Amino acid sequence: MKCPECGHVDSKVLESRSIEENTVMKRRRACIECSYRFTTYEKLETTPIVVIKSDGSRQLFSREKILRGLSLATPKRPVTFEQIEKITDTVEQHIKNQGLKEIESKQIGEFVIEQLKELDDVAYVRFASIYRQFKDINSFMKEVETLLKK
């Protein structure tokens, strides 16, 4: 590792520890040449996941979009930001566990809806009404009736 102070390429590791739920390795290093101490971080490089939108376009997966969508569905509801993050983490991990390089946005949306249904009925209906783009009030009412039967 190149020293940021003198540019020498040899350093020794003084301390290593895992952070961010064991996904990042933090290392304290010292330059062999000038003894300057610095910190480096190592993170596993992963292949990005491509999302296929309903119009056929493709874009990189963004957990921020899921967080934003969930935040819009949950105002004034008894849902904490930690719960929203947990759903987002669950969705992201589910996608990664499938080992796919591409996934349809529809699949992501349906999985988010499944998670929301367990958490809060009103947030579920809000998210579903936007995501599923109900054509008319009857299709919306059918969804609400299905929810009420449970």
What is the domain partition of the chain in residue ranges?
Answer: 11-43, 50-149
pTM (two decimals): 0.62
Predicted local confidence at residue 126, as pLDDT: 84
pLDDT at 150 over 70: no
Average pLDDT for residues 90-100, to the nearest whole number? 87
Predicted local confidence at residue 83, as pLDDT: 93
Most confident residue range from 10-14, 113-117, 138-142 = 10-14
Tokens of 51: 């999302």
Taking phi over 0 as left and psi of -120 to 50 as alpha, with beta for the rest, 125 belongs to: alpha
Provide the residue type at 10 as one letter: D
CA distance linking residue 25 with residue 41, whole number of Å: 6
Percentages (nearest 5) of helix, strand, coil residues in the chain:
45, 20, 35
pLDDT at 135 over 70: no
